[in-house]
Protein backbone atom coordinates (compact mmCIF):
# COMPACT_ATOMS: atom_id res chain seq x y z
CA UNK A 1 0.00 0.00 0.00
CA UNK A 2 1.34 3.45 -0.92
CA UNK A 3 2.07 5.85 1.88
CA UNK A 4 1.91 9.59 1.53
CA UNK A 5 5.42 10.95 0.79
CA UNK A 6 7.08 13.23 3.32
CA UNK A 7 6.33 16.79 2.12
CA UNK A 8 6.06 19.41 4.89
CA UNK A 9 5.21 22.95 3.84
CA UNK A 10 8.24 25.07 4.67
CA UNK A 11 8.66 28.66 3.56
CA UNK A 12 12.28 29.64 2.90
CA UNK A 13 13.31 33.19 2.12
CA UNK A 14 15.10 33.64 -1.19
CA UNK A 15 18.87 33.70 -1.10
CA UNK A 16 20.70 36.81 -2.28
CA UNK A 17 21.68 35.07 -5.53
CA UNK A 18 18.04 34.13 -6.17
CA UNK A 19 16.97 37.74 -5.55
CA UNK A 20 19.64 39.01 -7.95
CA UNK A 21 18.59 36.40 -10.53
CA UNK A 22 14.96 37.60 -10.21
CA UNK A 23 16.03 41.21 -10.75
CA UNK A 24 17.94 40.18 -13.87
CA UNK A 25 14.99 38.12 -15.14
CA UNK A 26 12.48 40.93 -14.60
CA UNK A 27 14.90 43.42 -16.18
CA UNK A 28 15.18 41.16 -19.23
CA UNK A 29 11.39 41.00 -19.62
CA UNK A 30 11.09 44.79 -19.21
CA UNK A 31 13.93 45.30 -21.68
CA UNK A 32 12.18 43.19 -24.31
CA UNK A 33 8.91 45.09 -23.87
CA UNK A 34 10.59 48.50 -23.98
CA UNK A 35 12.87 47.56 -26.88
CA UNK A 36 9.95 46.37 -28.98
CA UNK A 37 7.88 49.45 -28.06
CA UNK A 38 10.71 51.89 -28.85
CA UNK A 39 11.34 50.27 -32.24
CA UNK A 40 7.72 49.51 -33.15
CA UNK A 41 7.24 52.39 -35.60
CA UNK A 42 10.40 51.57 -37.53
CA UNK A 43 9.65 47.86 -37.89
CA UNK A 44 8.56 46.58 -41.28
CA UNK A 45 5.13 44.93 -41.57
CA UNK A 46 6.81 41.51 -41.87
CA UNK A 47 9.51 40.40 -39.43
CA UNK A 48 11.42 37.13 -39.10
CA UNK A 49 9.55 34.80 -36.79
CA UNK A 50 11.40 31.51 -37.09
CA UNK A 51 14.96 30.46 -37.78
CA UNK A 52 16.40 27.11 -38.81
CA UNK A 53 19.34 25.41 -37.11
CA UNK A 54 21.81 27.42 -39.19
CA UNK A 55 20.27 30.70 -37.99
CA UNK A 56 18.63 31.44 -41.35
CA UNK A 57 15.12 32.85 -41.49
CA UNK A 58 12.61 30.19 -42.55
CA UNK A 59 9.36 32.00 -41.68
CA UNK A 60 8.25 35.60 -41.74
CA UNK A 61 5.23 36.94 -39.90
CA UNK A 62 3.41 40.08 -38.91
CA UNK A 63 5.21 42.33 -36.47
CA UNK A 64 2.21 41.82 -34.16
CA UNK A 65 3.27 38.19 -33.79
CA UNK A 66 6.40 39.44 -32.09
CA UNK A 67 4.28 40.53 -29.11
CA UNK A 68 3.90 36.88 -28.20
CA UNK A 69 7.55 36.71 -27.07
CA UNK A 70 7.18 39.05 -24.07
CA UNK A 71 3.75 37.53 -23.36
CA UNK A 72 5.21 34.02 -23.18
CA UNK A 73 8.14 35.33 -21.12
CA UNK A 74 5.79 36.97 -18.61
CA UNK A 75 3.51 33.92 -18.41
CA UNK A 76 6.45 31.56 -17.94
CA UNK A 77 7.95 33.83 -15.28
CA UNK A 78 4.67 33.95 -13.33
CA UNK A 79 4.03 30.21 -13.57
CA UNK A 80 7.57 29.31 -12.50
CA UNK A 81 7.41 31.90 -9.70
CA UNK A 82 4.34 30.08 -8.33
CA UNK A 83 6.01 26.68 -8.73
CA UNK A 84 9.16 27.98 -7.03
CA UNK A 85 7.14 29.05 -3.97
CA UNK A 86 5.70 25.56 -3.50
CA UNK A 87 8.71 23.23 -3.13
CA UNK A 88 6.59 20.66 -1.28
CA UNK A 89 4.87 19.94 -4.62
CA UNK A 90 8.09 19.31 -6.56
CA UNK A 91 9.21 15.82 -7.46
CA UNK A 92 11.81 14.25 -5.13
CA UNK A 93 13.38 10.83 -4.68
CA UNK A 94 11.95 8.49 -2.08
CA UNK A 95 14.88 9.14 0.25
CA UNK A 96 13.53 12.57 1.23
CA UNK A 97 12.95 12.72 5.00
CA UNK A 98 13.00 15.08 7.99
CA UNK A 99 16.79 15.33 8.02
CA UNK A 100 17.26 16.28 4.34
CA UNK A 101 14.00 17.96 3.35
CA UNK A 102 15.44 21.47 3.64
CA UNK A 103 18.38 20.60 1.38
CA UNK A 104 16.05 19.14 -1.26
CA UNK A 105 13.66 22.10 -1.11
CA UNK A 106 16.43 24.68 -1.38
CA UNK A 107 18.11 22.87 -4.27
CA UNK A 108 14.83 22.47 -6.13
CA UNK A 109 13.84 26.11 -5.58
CA UNK A 110 17.23 27.24 -6.88
CA UNK A 111 16.88 25.16 -10.06
CA UNK A 112 13.42 26.61 -10.72
CA UNK A 113 14.58 30.16 -9.95
CA UNK A 114 17.58 30.06 -12.26
CA UNK A 115 15.63 28.29 -15.01
CA UNK A 116 12.87 30.93 -14.81
CA UNK A 117 15.33 33.78 -15.12
CA UNK A 118 17.47 32.26 -17.88
CA UNK A 119 14.26 31.70 -19.87
CA UNK A 120 13.42 35.39 -19.41
CA UNK A 121 16.85 36.32 -20.77
CA UNK A 122 16.42 33.94 -23.72
CA UNK A 123 13.04 35.45 -24.69
CA UNK A 124 14.47 38.97 -24.37
CA UNK A 125 17.45 38.01 -26.53
CA UNK A 126 15.22 36.52 -29.23
CA UNK A 127 13.04 39.66 -29.26
CA UNK A 128 16.16 41.82 -29.54
CA UNK A 129 17.51 39.74 -32.42
CA UNK A 130 14.20 39.77 -34.31
CA UNK A 131 13.94 43.57 -34.09
CA UNK A 132 17.58 44.03 -35.06
CA UNK A 133 17.38 41.63 -38.00
CA UNK A 134 14.12 43.18 -39.24
CA UNK A 135 15.53 46.72 -39.11
CA UNK A 136 18.93 45.91 -40.59
CA UNK A 137 17.46 43.47 -43.11
CA UNK A 138 20.01 40.85 -42.13
CA UNK A 139 19.11 37.29 -42.99
CA UNK A 140 20.95 35.45 -40.24
CA UNK A 141 20.46 35.05 -36.50
CA UNK A 142 23.62 35.34 -34.41
CA UNK A 143 23.11 31.89 -32.94
CA UNK A 144 26.29 31.75 -30.81
CA UNK A 145 24.72 33.80 -28.00
CA UNK A 146 21.55 31.74 -28.08
CA UNK A 147 23.56 28.52 -27.94
CA UNK A 148 25.49 29.83 -24.92
CA UNK A 149 22.23 30.77 -23.15
CA UNK A 150 20.67 27.38 -23.87
CA UNK A 151 23.84 25.62 -22.72
CA UNK A 152 23.71 27.67 -19.51
CA UNK A 153 20.08 26.66 -19.00
CA UNK A 154 20.89 22.96 -19.35
CA UNK A 155 24.02 23.33 -17.22
CA UNK A 156 21.96 24.86 -14.39
CA UNK A 157 19.50 21.97 -14.54
CA UNK A 158 22.20 19.31 -14.72
CA UNK A 159 24.27 20.81 -11.88
CA UNK A 160 21.12 21.17 -9.76
CA UNK A 161 20.08 17.56 -10.32
CA UNK A 162 23.60 16.30 -9.56
CA UNK A 163 23.62 18.31 -6.31
CA UNK A 164 20.27 16.76 -5.38
CA UNK A 165 21.62 13.29 -6.15
CA UNK A 166 24.41 13.89 -3.60
CA UNK A 167 21.98 14.72 -0.80
CA UNK A 168 21.95 11.86 1.70
Mean pLDDT, all residues of the chain: 89
DSSP the chain: -----------PPPPHHHHHHHHHHHHHHHHHHHHHHHHGGGS-SEEEEEE-TTSBEEEEEEGGGGGHHHHHHHHHHHHHHHHHT-GGGS---TT--TTTHHHHHHHHHHHHHHHHHHHHHHHHHHHHHHHHHHHHT--B--HHHHHHHHHHHHHHHHHHHHHHHT--
User: What are the tens digits of pLDDT across the range 92-126?
Assistant: 888 888 889 999 999 999 999 999 999 999 999 88
Q: Which residues pair with 165 in a beta bridge?
A: none
Spans of all domains in the chain: 20-165
pLDDT of residue 93: 86
Q: Whole-prediction pTM value?
A: 0.86
Q: Is the pLDDT of residue 142 over 50?
A: yes
pLDDT of residue 31: 97
Q: Is the pLDDT of residue 139 over 80?
A: no
* CB-CB contact of 104 with 158 (8 Å): no
User: What are the tens digits of pLDDT across the range 145-166?
Assistant: 778 888 999 999 999 989 988 9
User: What are the tens digits of pLDDT across the range 3-30?
Assistant: 677 788 888 899 999 999 999 999 999 9
Q: Is the pLDDT of residue 42 over 60?
A: yes
Amino acid sequence: MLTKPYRPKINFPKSMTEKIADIIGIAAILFSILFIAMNWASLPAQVPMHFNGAGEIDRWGSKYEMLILPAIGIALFIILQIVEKKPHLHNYPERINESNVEQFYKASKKIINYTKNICSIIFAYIAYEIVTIAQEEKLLLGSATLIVLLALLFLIIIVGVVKMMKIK
